[in-house]
């Protein structure tokens, strides 16, 4: 994916696949710095991807936006953050860092996050997947992340006694109290060894404790999943019903980076009526 044509095609097919899966709103993250090996400028990369998103979503009802990701082991995060702001009225809604957590703390990219804050921008940080509570703490208390990518290791701050009663530590309480969205990716977490199976994934307990959990695919290609299959897995293992799926879906829409009125319109005019129709039939 090192030419504008290839990037536009992949983005178009991504949008088409999401629309076919019944997704009504998506934020797709990609790292522009990984697509410049043959001379494309960052802006040309972004433009090609956004062109593909528009082509693939045209006439489908899908609203698709981009999150620009900086690789945390590299040194281009401020440059990527500046691009996110430069393109935010043209299809980009936020900024992100991704890559290996261990050895590359989010505070290493503090200048990029502060730039986003000064520009009134939104950003999410991958934290609490392969590394533990210090990664989550830094992402929130040093870098002021709007959302946490994964965040499953927040379970390290929750003790469950033999009777099933949960006691939250200070960081877990903070995450729940201020409604930090946790971008849960169950299948990916099993694939990477964060947990042994979906049945052992903490999403069920976190949902029961009323954390702001959402369901995500992480990497649809590598994990071989769709959003529908992620939900189906939760239904099979946890016996979730339509009301649980609706709760998780509304959580995701509440946590999106588009303006509040647009989020509210999608929730009230599209998502809730869609679930009401399914529930009335069932």
Residue 154 has pLDDT above 70, yes or no: yes
Q: Is 167 helix (H, G, I), strand (E, B) or coil?
A: strand
Q: Annotate the chain with DSSP letters as a single string.
A: --SHHHHHHHHHHHHHHHHHTT-SEEEEEE-GGGG-TTS--HHHHHHHHHHHHHHHHTTTS-EEEEEEEEETTSS-HHHHHHHHHHTTTTTEEEEEEES--TT--GGGGHHHHHHHHHTT--EEEEESSSS-HHHHHIIIIIT--SEEEE-GGGGGGEEE-TTS-EEE-HHHHHHHHTT--EEE-HHHHHHTTSSSSGGG-THHHHHHTT--EEE--S-HHHHT--HHHHHHHHHHHH---HHHHHHHHHHHHHT-SS-HHHHHHHIIIIIHHHHHHHHHH-
Note whether residue 194 is domain-resident. yes
Closest by CA position to 243, among listed 270, 268, 280: 280
Of the listed ranges 87-91, 128-132, 161-165, 263-267, the one predicted with least confidence: 128-132
Where a domain ends, among 99, 115, 137? 99
Q: Number of folded domains in the chain?
A: 2
Same domain (yes/no): 89, 174: no
Which residue shows structure tokens 């729940």?
176
Q: What is the pLDDT of residues 186-213, one digit of tens each?
A: 999 998 888 899 999 999 999 999 999 9
Same domain (yes/no): 128, 261: yes
Same domain (yes/no): 60, 131: no
CA distance 262 to 276: 20
CA distance 4 to 179: 39
Same domain (yes/no): 95, 150: no
Same domain (yes/no): 66, 129: no
Note whether residue 32 is domain-resident. yes
Same domain (yes/no): 90, 133: no
Rg (the chain; Cα; Å): 18
Same domain (yes/no): 132, 250: yes
Query: Which domain range does residue 37 map to?
Result: 1-99
Q: What is the pLDDT of residues 27-40, one digit of tens each?
A: 999 999 999 999 99
Task: Report residue 71: phi and psi, to 5°.
Answer: -80, 125
Where a domain ends, among 99, 132, 165? 99
Model confidence, pTM? 0.93
**How would you class 165 by CB atoms within 10 Å of its CB: exposed for 0-12, middle for 13-18, buried for 19 or more?**
exposed
Q: What is the pLDDT of residues 63-82, one digit of tens each?
A: 999 999 999 888 899 999 99
Same domain (yes/no): 71, 195: no
CATH code at position 206? 3.20.20.140
Note whether residue 90 is domain-resident. yes
Note whether residue 11 is domain-resident. yes
CA distance 12 to 5: 10
Same domain (yes/no): 128, 268: yes
The predicted pLDDT at position 271 comes to: 96
CA distance 218 to 1: 19
CA distance 52 to 12: 4
Which one of the listed residues 47, 129, 138, 183 is annotated catalytic?
129
Q: Is 49 helix (H, G, I), strand (E, B) or coil?
A: helix
Note whether residue 26 is domain-resident. yes
Note whether residue 105 is domain-resident. no
CA distance 164 to 147: 28
Same domain (yes/no): 140, 264: yes
How far does CA 199 lie from the centroid of its chain? 21
Same domain (yes/no): 131, 222: yes
Q: Is 129 a catalytic site residue?
A: yes
Note whether residue 263 is domain-resident. yes
The predicted pLDDT at position 128 comes to: 67
Same domain (yes/no): 91, 146: no
Where a domain ends, among 99, 131, 154? 99
Note whether residue 146 is domain-resident. yes
């Amino acid at each position: 994916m090192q030419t504008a044509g290839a990037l536009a095609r992949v983005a178009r097919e991504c949008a088409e696949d999401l629309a076919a899966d019944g997704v009504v709103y998506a934020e797709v993250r990609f790292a522009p710095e990984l697509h410049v090996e043959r001379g494309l400028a960052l802006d040309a990369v972004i433009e090609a991807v956004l062109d593909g998103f528009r082509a693939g979503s045209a006439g489908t009802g899908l609203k698709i936006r981009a999150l620009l990701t900086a690789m945390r082991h590299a040194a281009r995060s401020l440059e990527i953050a500046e691009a996110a702001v430069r393109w935010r009225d043209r299809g980009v809604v936020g900024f992100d860092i991704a890559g290996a957590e261990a050895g590359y703390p989010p505070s290493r990219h503090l200048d990029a996050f502060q730039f986003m804050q000064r520009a009134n921008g939104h950003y999410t940080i991958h934290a609490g997947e392969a590394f533990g509570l210090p990664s989550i703490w830094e992402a929130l208390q040093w870098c002021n992340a709007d959302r946490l990518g994964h965040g499953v290791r927040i379970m390290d701050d929750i003790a469950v006694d033999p009777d099933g009663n949960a006691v939250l530590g200070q960081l877990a309480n903070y995450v729940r109290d201020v409604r930090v969205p946790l971008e849960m990716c169950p299948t990916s977490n099993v694939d990477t060894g964060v947990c042994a199976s979906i049945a052992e994934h903490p999403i069920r307990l976190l949902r029961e404790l009323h954390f702001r959990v959402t369901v995500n695919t992480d990497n649809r290609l590598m994990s071989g999943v769709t959003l529908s299959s992620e939900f189906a897995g939760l239904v099979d293992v946890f016996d979730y019903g339509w009301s649980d799926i609706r709760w998780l879906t509304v959580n995701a829409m509440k946590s999106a980076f588009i303006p509040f009125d647009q989020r509210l319109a999608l929730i009230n005019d599209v998502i809730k009526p869609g679930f009401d129709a399914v529930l009335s039939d069932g």
